[in-house]
Amino acid sequence: MEALRDAIRSGRLLPGTRLPSSRTLAADLGVARNTVARAYSELVAEGWLTSQHGSRTTVSQRAADVRRSRTVRPGTTTPPRPEHDLRPGHPDLSSFPREEWARAVKRALQAAPTEAFGYADPHGRPELREALAEYLARARGVRCEPDDIVVCCGAAEGLDLIARALADIGVSAVAVEEFGLPAQRRSLTDAGLRCPPLAVDAGGADVDALDAMPDVGGVVLTPSHQFPLGVPLRPDRRASVIDWARRTGGVVIEDDYDGEFRYDRTPVGALHGVDPDRVGYLGTVSKTLAPGLRLGWLVLPHRLTEAVIRQKGETEATCGFLEQLAMAEFLRAGGYDRHIRTMRAQYRRRREHLLAALARSSPLTEVHGLPAGLHALLGLDGGGESALAGRPPWRRLAVEGLDLYRHPAAASDRDGLVVGFAAPAPSAWSAALAALIGLLP
């Protein structure tokens, strides 16, 4: 109820806006219909909403009057909040499997050994590491034992731990793809590592360029679905980077950020399965379940495990034992597989809706990358991103341009929009898609 009231006060829900039915909103939020109906009734009584028998609930005119009456301190401005979240890598949080997760938490808590309530093992709970070893072998082709796995607080902490461990053993530089997450480059540079870029084309990262970088001791790759360009690492390049690692003693860091979501075929197996002694694997539930769980894992070559544990001990960061035990139970009971199957079908439909809408309304817009993941890359002519940013519809969308992910030393001048299609709730997807189409030429 408070979230609705805040949305009306802030202007994100304008007077006259029709709200979803109590049944639809309850399904989106995973709560009882009576809970939504009670919240609607209270907001009607307060004057924020209007409702008549047999008609939809709408935002009342009083909302505009209240906003106009609020005073703003001179010299302060509040940036408008976007109406639709189309940022890449953000899952549909309204589809979180609350009931199954709650059952997993209850079972995990009831079965938890007394020692689990004490100080945590920096490797992570053994129950989760055992469940992950089985799941990763089956779903992603990762070959490991539970002792090879280190549980961490999401992908960001995982890469930070690896970066500091590599610096600790004498590595001075780790190559990255010329388009990628700025936060990953920051993790490397914060650890004192240089991060020269590798060009990316239709075959993925140009890993052959590593031979001309003798001081590079590692490379971060997104081989299954390059982020954000969306291409896979070509088979000969997969073999080439493993050969480079064997020849030089380098480490390949595989970020398998959305490897479960491929829509035209069975997902390509992880690079880790080719050579577990040379590849460190980074996984997380941030795309499959929710980033708020702060739960990820590293599958490490033996020579890196203790170096990472030393770093983890220094930071004293660990995921809570209950989340780990619940995740282990969720995996063992099949809930994780069921949820991924459900979301894979949902995201596939959304991607198809996006392609169909583009074909109808913006036929010159090209979609690049595999039918996979939670985002699509829409190609633009040079300077197109800057032109779109000046249009009023841009302010309604949380959408990101390709330039945000460009390495400062990248040679590529590609332009485009990186559009996430997963975050909006099912009831909001049509409006988000319409707003995006309204932005494009």
Domains of the chain: 2-73 (1.10.10.10), 98-334 (3.40.640.10), 337-439 (3.90.1150.10)
pLDDT per position as a tens digit, 270-302: 999 999 999 999 999 999 999 999 999 999 999
- The whole-number average pLDDT for the span 352-359 is 96
Please give the angle made by the CA atoms of 138, 298 and 404, to the nearest 5 degrees. Answer: 105
Q: Is the pTM of this model over 0.85?
A: no
Least reliable range by pLDDT among 33-42, 49-58, 337-346: 49-58
pLDDT band at 72 (very low <50, low <70, confident <90, very high): very low
- Say which amino acid occupies 261: F
pLDDT of residue 39: 80
Higher-scoring residue by pLDDT: 96, 50: 96
In 244-260, which positions are buried (b, 16+ CB within 10 angstroms) versus exposed (e)?
Answer: bbeebebbbbbbbbbbb
Identify which has the larger pLDDT, 227 or 440: 227
pLDDT at residue 119 in the model: 85
In this predicted structure, what is the pLDDT of residue 267?
A: 85
Give helix then strand counts, H and E, for the chain.
14, 17
Contact (Cβ atoms closer than 8 angstroms) between residue 179 and residue 200: yes
C-alpha Rg value of the chain to the nearest Å: 24
In whole angstroms, give the CA distance from residue 351 to residue 422: 9
- 3-state SS assignment for residue 221: strand
Tell which wins on pLDDT, 111 or 24: 111
* Spatial distance between the Cα atoms of 428 and 264, rounded to a whole number of angstroms: 25
109-140 per-position pLDDT tens digit: 999 999 999 988 899 999 999 999 999 999 99
Burial (0-12, 13-18, 19+ Cβ within 10 Å), 297: buried
Band of pLDDT at residue 25, cut at 50, 70 and 90? confident
Angle between helix 321-332 and helix 126-140 axes, rounded to 10 deg: 40
The answer to whether residue 337 scores a pLDDT higher than 80 is yes
Residues in the chain: 441
Please give the Cα distance from 126 to 144 (Å, whole number).
Answer: 14
d(CA 252, CA 391): 42
| Mean pLDDT on 145-169 | 95
Question: What average pLDDT does this structure show over 5-19?
Answer: 74
- What is the structure's pLDDT at 36? 78
Among 2-16, 324-338, 346-360, whose mean pLDDT is lowest? 2-16
Which of 327, 272, 251, 230 minimizes the C-alpha distance to 139?
Answer: 272
Percent helix, strand, coil in the chain (nearest 5)?
50, 15, 40
What is the mean pLDDT of the segment spanning 372-394?
77
Q: Is the pLDDT of residue 78 over 70?
A: no
- CA–CA separation, 255 and 227 (whole Å): 10
Query: CA-CA distance, 364 to 44, in Å (whole number)?
Result: 46
Mean pLDDT of 206-233: 97
- Between 33 and 189, where is the model more confident? 189
User: Where are the strands (E) in 72-135, listed by range?
Assistant: 84-85
Alpha-carbon gap, residue 153 to 157, rounded angstroms: 6
Pairing of strands 251-255, 216-221: parallel
Q: How far is 242 from 335, CA to CA, in rounded Å?
A: 34
What average pLDDT is seen over the chain?
89
Q: Which of 281, 254, 304 is nearest to 136 (CA)?
A: 281
CB 289 within 8 A of CB 262: no
Under a CB-based contact definition with an 8 Å cutoff, are residues 122 and 309 in contact?
yes
